[in-house]
Structures are given as C-alpha cells and as structure tokens.
Amino acid sequence: MAPTSYQAPTRGDKAERTTYSQSVESNMSHTLTKVSKLLEGKGDAIFSVNVGDTIADVVGVLKDKRIGAVVVTEAGGVMQGILSERDIVRRMADTPGQTLPQSVEDLMTKDVVTCTPDDTLTDVLKRMTEGRFRHMPVLSEGRLCGMITIGDVVNFRLKELEYEALRMKQMIVG
C-alpha cells in the first residue's frame, strides 16, 4: 500500500514535470542529423577510377585506400557508375582466373543511388538498407562532394548515443 504522504500524479503535474530530456523533439533529434554533419568529420575524399580502367586497377585502389567501393567517372569527372568489392567477388565466381583484365565499365552498377548534404542520415540509412548496398555518393548541385558508407552512419549514431548517455548521466549525477 502507498504511504499516506503519497500523492497520485495528476495530468497538470505531469505537464509541469516534463523536462527537456524527455521531450519528443529531443528524443527524436538524431533523426534530423544531416549528411553534411557527417561529412564535416569525415571529409570529402572520393576515390574514383575511370570507365576505361580494369578490375585490376580497382583492386589496387580498394587495397591502397582501404575502402570497399569506388566511384567510376569519365574523363570529365562526371560519375558514370559505382563498383564495389561485392561486384568483383561475384564476377570472380563467374569467371575464375579471368576477372582482373576485365573492364570497369562492363562490371559497374550504372544506376547509382545518391544523396545530398541536406538529406538526413536516417533517410540515407533507410535507402541503403532497402537497396541492399553500403555506399552512397553525395552530390551537391550535381557535383560529387563525398561518399558515405553504412559504417560511417552507424559509427556516427553510436557516437551520438554515447554523448546522449553521458549527458543523461551528468544530469542524474550532477
């Protein structure tokens, strides 16, 4: 049984006791974080190959830069496609021992899904998950300005969560 001093909360009490940390806005604020915010920390490096290059060239770039996909451009720098390690592995299974001399143009994915710096990370994550790919070039006014991966988005969110947990702890402990 509740002690006699206990006062059951009323609707009015609840409204007064709601703090900023409990508001829907603050709890959902991470869903509004934009691609531009992630690029601020990551930088705008984009590793690309040319449509005329070979798979051997791509394998070299993937190894040297420690990345999983490259953007494919034509001589003028305009994006023509994207090629990831997954494409190469599949082709190696189909053409064992004959993959490296093949052309990038023949293997790349031409229909590239892109995002803009103004898109939210939540939206990008959703599109990557639905499309089953892990890389997304970022275009600003039609020009390449970065590349983000599913790993970048997950890491960024983890850091946000750590920060939010620390803030909550500081609020509780003082």
Give 54's strand partners: 103
Of 84, 144, 146, 148, which one interacts with ligand AMP (CB under 6 A)?
A: 84
136 binds ligand AMP (CB under 6 A): yes
**68 lines the binding site for ligand AMP (CB under 6 A):** yes
Helix runs in the chain, H state only: 11-17, 24-28, 35-42, 55-65, 85-94, 104-107, 121-131, 150-173
- Minimum CB distance to ligand AMP, residue 122 (Å): 17
Q: Smallest gap, in angstroms, from Cβ of residue 130 to ligand AMP?
A: 11
Told to check if 102 binds ligand AMP by CB under 6 A, we report no
Confirm if 50 and 80 have CB atoms less than 8 A apart: no
143-149 and 79-84 beta bridge pairing: unpaired
Residue with tokens 């994207």: 82
- Least distance from ligand AMP to the Cβ atom of residue 75, Å: 21
- Of the candidates 82, 144, 148, 153, which one interacts with ligand AMP according to CB under 6 A? 82
